[in-house]
Amino acid sequence: MNKKVCIIISNFKGKFEVLEIVILSIINQSYPVENIHVVMVNYDFDFIGFISMLLKKASDDMQKEFIKRNIHSVPMEIDYGLSYMRNLGLKYARETIKDFDYVMFLDNDAVLDPECIRTLVFLAERNNIGILQPLTIFWHEKVPQSCGFLVDTLGFEHLVLPREMIDLQEINYLRKKYHDWGRSIILVDVDKNGLVPIHYAIGCAMFFSRKCIDRLCCFNEDIFFWRDDTEICIRALKLGYRIYGTTKAKVYHMEQARTRKREIHSFINSEKGRMIVLLILDYRRKRFWLSKVLFKFLIAEILNLFQRMIKDQKSFIVSTKAMLSILGNIVRRGIYYFS
């Protein structure tokens, strides 16, 4: 295989010991490493010190050559959010690497299985797929995390998992873990290629064809973080691209990435992203379409509040403040705040 793959790592205050495992998992791919380029977009990170550490620990000349030639750094001085970070890496790849065929957006705590890139390229080439998500697995628990997500009419996400790869104990673990997100679990049967159609790929490991990402242009920077992955995939679906999850390629998620904001800000960003997704899902050049979107958004928020009220008083208060903040912005600045 001679297709060139560019891996863009969003590195927000990353830890050396975690990123070392991530980079080594890329170097040790069965796919030809000369066809892999890594673009690290770094915020508050000593890239020179990290590269020096990698070179000292490199086991052979091949690893040293890859570290020197194929790992690129893009500094980000001010934190403008995850979407901006990914766009910065994508802009660098288009201007510097130029002739790549696929781009993979990877979190700084996502570790690739040795066959991951080879499998993703093979499946994308053979099936003409726009976006692919490898099966993500929790690093410590070794429990499947996601094979993709489906989105309902209210913008709630539903976790997709292969029926044959998960047992009842693992399902109960995931239900408890994702309780706050309002996510249900959908068990599916995969085809002979290990593929299942989904609405969007999880942001920690998203694999795009060059044609698809170029037509989409970039991530929506109005979404600071959370649901940036949902929004870009829904746009891809609207443009006719196919999105699949696969069990044949695997990524292990260490969940060591650092978050940016306090709980209320996280909730506001999440619900702002939901509003944008609903606008894309329901956009019609017809009368009252915007009113219907707003109505669906309010229904979703009421369900969110009810769920958190059941959980505990603190979550309910935080969610109420977040919802009032979002509605206040709608009134004060109009719907263009979200578009």
pLDDT at residue number 94: 96
Question: In 60-71, which positions are buried (b, 16+ CB within 10 angstroms) versus exposed (e)?
Answer: eeebeebbeebb
Question: What is the average per-residue pLDDT within 80-103?
Answer: 94
> How is domain 5-253 classified at the architecture level of CATH?
Alpha-Beta Complex (3.90)
Summarised one tens digit per residue, pLDDT across range 110-121 is 999 999 999 999
pLDDT at residue number 293: 57
The lowest-confidence range among 40-49, 209-218, 315-324 is 315-324
DSSP string, 190-239: --TTSEEE-SB--TTEEEEEHHHHHHH-S--TTS-SSSHHHHHHHHHHHT
pLDDT higher than 60, residue 209: yes
Question: What is the average per-residue pLDDT within 285-313?
Answer: 57
pTM above 0.85, yes or no: no
Summarised one tens digit per residue, pLDDT across range 218-277 is 998 888 877 889 889 999 998 999 999 999 999 999 876 555 554 556 666 666 676 677
Domain regions of the chain by residue span: 5-253, 263-337
Question: What is the average per-residue pLDDT within 61-84?
Answer: 92
Which residues contact residue 149 at a Cβ distance below 8 angstroms, ignoring those fewer than 6 apart? 157, 158, 159, 160, 183, 198, 199, 200, 201, 202, 230
